[in-house]
Amino acid sequence: MQNGLRQSPDRNYKDHAVKLTLNQVNFFYGDRQALFKIDIEILTNQVTSFIGPSGCGKSTLLRCLNRLNDLVEGARLEGTMLLDGIDIYGPNVDITDLRKRVGMVFQKSNPFPKSIYENVAYGPRLHGIRNRGRLDQIVEEGLIGAGLWEEVKDRLQASAFGLSGGQQQRLCIARALAVKPDVLLMDEPCSALDPVATAKIEELLFSLKQDLTVVIVTHNMQQAARVSDWTAFMYLGEIVEYGLTKEIFTTPSKKQTDDYITGRFG
Amino acid sequence: MRSPFKKFLASGNVFIWGCAAGVSVSLLMVFGLLLLIVINGLGYFWTANIVELTLKDKQHVMGQLAGREVIPRSVTPDRPEGKSRLRVKIGNRDIYGLDFKWVNDDQIASETYSPDIALLERREWGNMYARIKAVYKGEMLQAEGNDAGWIALAPLIDTTNALYQQITRIERIEIGSINTDIEQARLKIRALEMGAAPDTRESGQIDSLKAQVAAAESRYQERTLELDTLRTQFNEYSVLMVDANGREKQIPVGQIIRALRPNEIGLMHKCWIYLTNVWSVLSTEPREANTEGGIFPAIFGTVMMVIIMSLAVVPFGVLAALYLREYARQGVMVRLVRIAVNNLAGVPSIVFGVFGLGFFIYAVGGTLDTLFFPERLPTPTFGTGGILWASLTLALLTVPVVIVSTEEGLAAVPREFREGSLALGATKLETMLKVVIPSALPGILTGLILSMARAAGEVAPLMLTGVVKLAPSLPVDGSWPFFHFDRKFMHLGFHIYDVGFQSPNVEAAKPMVYITTLVLITVVVLLNLTAIVLRNHLRKKYAGSVL
């Protein structure tokens, strides 16, 4: 992990192309450093999860991937982050294009105060799709992709706030899918949901990774073990260990990881 | 161990009583004030019976009872206490000079309500209470005696009222539009003459304009002739009235708006008359130095001013708040600006009036006049008070309220909405327009409601920026360009001041003050209700958002 040694998955490497490459990334909120020398690769069509105790920097890392941290005053990033080989912090990058390619689902479901239809159509409309028939199709695809279509197809014009918590979160997933992203970032998407709604979203992840690369931050280690192919354990802004999920959870190579997943701290 | 008294104090009951007492006292004061205004205002529309009092000195007093009070010591210190006196509206101002008369109870010998007394509502000199003696057409006697005269009078009043409308229409609309044509043609001539060296084409234009003026003037002559004939018809009939003390007075029927015999009409009919009185106050123009007639121009002016003010203040305040909250770097500078904005709300309104006069009227209006209306100078067009400048001055006065509540509305929009929108690839502007501002709309409307309430009640700045006691025409009428933002206007708040404190006939004006106050409060409440309904509708639409 030190001395420029790339932390990358070394098995099944050839089966999947590299989607995101993080090279010696340091991140600062003003004077306070939040991420230290993050140096990993994330693979296409895989689910990668970040686990770790609160405040370890996993959400910060996630928000660096779509440059949402740019909004924070005094935020500063060192090192490079490549998406398909292109630096996302490069000078010619259009942030709106980047965010279109890297979608995000937040911890707290945040549908807009609009109808279900308008929520899903929000992104496509922004990117210039006006044709009603095309929009209808995109909305339907998004809702089907998020497993919500059967539940809401008869009340697309109803307010999104009438949905249950789990449905709202899946609506947010549908909204993110409607702009056809390459990568979907999920910031503790199930932390406010009951077990049934959580199970639905976890099932969804298996189908989503057929088309997308999913990066998920979670507090819940069982969830990470269930849904992800790769897991990174973070502590105090550093990546302690990164590898195949089943190996991390069965034979961790670091003592800290072992302590965390067995519940001795965190 | 605490003493029971300390325990009682600590329980907080006293504190709750204090709070409840504070609320009840405020409520009592508000409702007491409203009740006073409503009772005094609504009582004015009721047509009371006419009483005829015979005094012990054989004098007669005829009129409507307007109140009874215990004689204050200051008036007659020698009288024993407990005696009361009556206030009678005796009308007939042209005979007695005063509308009201005090009659002490112990002077009254008898009190009768005879059904044959007529109440004449007149265009001048207020009401007349008298009996009819005869009706004349010119010098010829048409009907004699009280009852015969009454029967003859009614159709004559209908005719003269119709004639009056016709005369007003010709004077206002037809002659008014002819005057506008003449004025505009003259201004065009003047503008051409003021322009560069006259060439032939221009002098041809001037000639054709002069011909227009001549044609308009001949049309004006025709109209004047028509008016003359109408006026002769209007004053053809007259009625001879005799009052309680036998004094006679002949008045032209044209002077009478309405004749009633209040003592012989039933309750239902009186209720109907009550409603027509209310409607006529709301829909007609003032008469006799604003103490009689209606207050329609003042209602219209108030509402229009508040609407123009709202149209100016909302975009201005919202843009300022958006910049302060969303774009400006939060630091010392922005904090200073916020403090300044909050303090602006505390500046006395007359200071805004002076600013409006200096900046809007003299600087902006004066410049507009020299640039666009040079041919009218030295008569100012925008360089004098008008509804536009008054509205803009009030917009400045109320903009801090809108800024503060919009900022609060924006601050209350959850961060998740913004991030959700940005994460979908929206720019900051798109996020503002599509998510943040719609969610902050209830907050913005709250600011608008507060600012409308403040603006509708402000009088001081208006006195410097364009309000008048009697405006010849409304700011909106049928002549092009329909909206006349340069015109002076009437305002309910100023009307209260003018009628109540500047009127020569204070007693007669008193009910008018109550009515105007009641209407002003109603207008403010209605404007606010509109905004509140709109806000509730939006809240329902964006249900689930924090506001």
Residues of A in contact with B331 (CB under 8 A): none
Residues B306, B233 share a domain: no
Residue B122 lies in a domain: no
* Distance (Å) from the alpha carbon of A126 to chain B's nearest alpha carbon: 6
Confidence band for B309, pLDDT divided at 50, 70 and 90: very high
Residue A266 lies in a domain: no
Closest by alpha carbon to A109, among A49, A178, A166? A166
Token pair listed for B229: 């004939």
Residues B480, B348 share a domain: yes
CA B365 to chain centroid, in Å, comes to 25
3-state SS assignment for residue B422: helix
Residues B361, B223 share a domain: no
Contact yes or no for B425 and A96 at CB 8 A: yes
Name residue, tokens 């047509």: B47
Domain that holds residue A203: 5-110+176-261
Domain count, chain B: 2
Instruction: State the Cα angle at B78 between B76 and B81, rounded to 5°.
Output: 80
pLDDT tens for each residue of B134-156: 888 888 888 888 888 888 888 88
Residue A66 lies in a domain: yes
In the prediction, which pLDDT does A9 show?
A: 52
Residue A135 lies in a domain: no
Residue B185 lies in a domain: yes
Q: Decide: residue B226, CB within 10 A, 0-12 exposed, 13-18 middle, 19+ buried.
A: middle
Check CB contact of B537 with chain A, cutoff 8 Å.
Answer: no
CB atoms within 10 A of CB B177: 15
Backbone angles phi, psi at A181, to 5 degrees: -80, 160
Residues B428, B353 share a domain: yes
User: How do strand A47-51 and strand A230-235 relate by DSSP bridges?
Assistant: parallel
Q: Whole-angstrom Cα distance, residue B163 to residue B227?
A: 10
Residues B315, B236 share a domain: no
Q: What is chain A's mean pLDDT, rounded? A: 85
Q: Which residues pair with B70 in a beta bridge?
A: B84
Last residue of a domain, one of B192, B219, B241: B241
Residue B498 lies in a domain: no
Domain that holds residue B210: 136-241
Residue B371 lies in a domain: yes
3-state helix, strand, coil in chain A (%, to 5): 40, 25, 35
Backbone angles phi, psi at A233, to 5 degrees: -100, 125
In order of A124, B70, B81, the CA distances from B109 in angstroms are 92, 19, 21
Confidence band for A2, pLDDT divided at 50, 70 and 90: very low
Domain count, chain A: 1
Residue A160 lies in a domain: no
Confidence band for A3, pLDDT divided at 50, 70 and 90: very low
Residues B215, B317 share a domain: no
Check whether B464 has a pLDDT greater than 50: yes
User: How do strand A75-83 and strand A238-244 relate by DSSP bridges?
Assistant: unpaired
Residues B453, B316 share a domain: yes
Supply the CATH number for residue A212's domain.
3.40.50.300
Residue B277 lies in a domain: no
Q: What is chain B's mean pLDDT, rounded? A: 86
Amino acid identity of residue B485, one-letter, is F
- Collect all residues with Cβ–Cβ distance below 8 Å to A79 and sequence separation of at least 6: A22, A23, A24, A25, A26, A37, A38
> Which chain A residue is nearest to residue B431, measuring alpha carbons?
A126
Residue A155 lies in a domain: no
Residues B165, B303 share a domain: no
Q: Whole-angstrom Cα distance, residue B205 to residue B209?
A: 6
- Collect all residues with Cβ–Cβ distance below 8 Å to A42 and sequence separation of at least 6: A18, A19, A20, A21, A22, A48, A213, A215, A230
Backbone angles phi, psi at A49, to 5 degrees: -115, 145
Check CB contact of B453 with chain A, cutoff 8 Å.
Answer: no
Confidence band for B547, pLDDT divided at 50, 70 and 90: very low
Q: Which helix (H) or strand (E) holds B248?
A: strand B248-252
Token pair listed for B492: 């309910």
Q: Which of A62, A66, A105, A110 is the mutation pick for testing B, counting most B CBs within 10 A?
A: A110
Closest by alpha carbon to B457, among B397, B384, B502? B397
Residue B408 lies in a domain: yes
Q: Whole-angstrom Cα distance, residue A262 to residue A256?
A: 10
Residue A71 lies in a domain: yes
Report percent pLDDT > 90 for chain B.
25
ipTM of this complex prediction, to 2 decimal places: 0.86
Supply the CATH number for residue B387's domain.
1.10.3720.10
CB pairs under 8 A between A and B: 67
DSSP label at residue B173: I
Residue A221 lies in a domain: yes
- Collect all residues with Cβ–Cβ distance below 8 Å to B49 and sequence separation of at least 6: B64, B113, B262, B263
Contact yes or no for A159 and B420 at CB 8 A: no
Residues B184, B310 share a domain: no
Q: Decide: residue B511, CB within 10 A, 0-12 exposed, 13-18 middle, 19+ buried.
A: buried
Q: Tell me the pTM.
A: 0.81
In the prediction, which pLDDT does B355 show?
A: 94
> Which chain A residue is nearest to residue B423, measuring alpha carbons?
A99
Check whether B20 has a pLDDT greater than 90: yes
Residue A182 lies in a domain: yes
3-state helix, strand, coil in chain B (%, to 5): 60, 15, 25
| Helical pair B200-234 and B146-169, crossing angle rounded to 10 deg | 170
Contact yes or no for B423 and A159 at CB 8 A: no
Backbone angles phi, psi at B30, to 5 degrees: -65, -50
Last residue of a domain, one of B241, B261, B284: B241
Report percent pLDDT > 90 for chain A.
11
B378 preceded by a cis bond (ω within 30 of 0): yes
